[in-house]
Amino acid sequence: MADSERNDSDMTEANGGISAHVPRSRFGRSGHRSSRVIFGAAGLGRASQATADHYLQVAASYGVNHIDTAADYGESELRLAPWLGAHRQEVFLATKTGQRDASGARRSLERSLERLGVDSVDLIQLHNLVEEEEWSQATGPGGALEALLDAKEEGLTRFVGVTGHGLRIPEMHRKSLERYDFDSVLLPYNFTMLANTAYRSELEALLEVCEQRDVAVQTIKSLARRRWPADHQGSRHSWYQPLPPGDELGRAVRFVLSNAQVFLNSSSDMDLLRPTLEAALDAGPTPSEAEMQADVDQLDASPLFDGGTLERI
């Protein structure tokens, strides 16, 4: 599908002024035209309600109309509930369950609906389905997938997806898509990870399958700089050290969004939300490999995963 068919943009009035919408694109077979930057709500897990309301308003002012949370994100679902009470019909709402058995997944989804204050979600995802044993349980008889498909039949969700971290996840997502026709996948995507030729090859194979089957592709860790140095002092708003606001972050965002097939889930460091959205508005050229590598060298960036000691979070 051509870029012009995938993306659109418009204007919205918010916070007393006019802000440009970030581009939107069809979220796979859902048909929903989601903002290319999805509001990743992990950062609301330990936030106050006032802080959550502030960042949700920031996101809305840029036309963000897709929210991604999870049962495991602390108080995130609770913090979203007041906003959803007034704006539910304006957003595509996704959550996740980390449970692998059917009864646990059902309870998890029901609890998420209660905490979110909604009757249904648009997308429920199997959270971080990477390990073979967990995969076999979740996708087998009596597994979590079975419960989520029942929930779909009952109207508690419209779509079912799968997510994961680490270098093995593109291959595991393809395996998951062989088992069931999931509506979406989510996985890490940034310059340092794609510099790993094996990961890039597996990712490209996954993207081809998703393109053929109209499966939406969400990316995470797009703003990752490296794991936190052992001697870091001060706050940590995400489990990895993110890129600082500035030109490097802008290039990282444009690097991801230059692939018209993918969406970018915002960082759990909420201070980076506005810079990320501003970068998504930038119609500048796609950064070159040389520019991206220069940023890696300048910031001493490194991959979050290496297939070995750094594979697990």
Among 160-164, 200-204, 303-307, the least confident range: 303-307
Question: CATH number for the domain including 128?
Answer: 3.20.20.100
Strand duo 37-40 + 262-265: pairing: parallel
pLDDT at 14: 42
pLDDT at 80 > cutoff 50? yes
Query: Angle formed by the axes of helices 102-116 and 144-153, to 10°?
Result: 50
pLDDT at 189: 97
230 inside domain: no
Domain count, the chain: 1
292 inside domain: yes
pLDDT at 231 > cutoff 60? yes
312 inside domain: no
> Against a cut of 0.85, is the pTM above it?
yes
What end-to-end distance do the CA atoms of the chain give, in Å?
A: 35
pLDDT at 206 > cutoff 70? yes
138 inside domain: yes
What is the pLDDT averaged over residues 35-62?
97
What is the pLDDT averaged over residues 142-146?
98
What is the pLDDT averaged over residues 34-57?
97
What is the pLDDT averaged over residues 221-238?
85
pLDDT at 95 > cutoff 90? yes
Percent of the chain residues past pLDDT 70, beyond the cut: 92
Structural domain including 169 reads 3-225+237-299
pLDDT at 17 > cutoff 90? no
pLDDT at 11: 41
* Residues 169, 189 contacting (CB under 8 angstroms): no
What is the pLDDT averaged over residues 37-53?
96
98 inside domain: yes
Cβ count near 170 (within 10 Å): 25
117 inside domain: yes
User: Is 117 exposed, middle or buried, given 0-12, 13-18 or 19+ CB atoms closer than 10 A?
Assistant: middle
215 inside domain: yes
pLDDT at 234: 74
- From CA 303, how far away is CA 281, in angstroms rounded? 26
Query: Angle formed by the axes of helices 289-299 and 247-257, to 10°?
Result: 140
Average confidence score pLDDT of the chain? 92
pLDDT at 28: 98
Bridge partners of residue 93, in order along the sequence? 67
209 inside domain: yes
* Half-sphere exposure (Cβ direction) of 202: Cα atoms closer than 13 Å: 18
* Half-sphere exposure (Cβ direction) of 74: Cα atoms closer than 13 Å: 13
pLDDT at 237: 80
Higher pLDDT pick, 12 / 243: 243
pLDDT at 313: 59
pLDDT at 25 > cutoff 70? yes
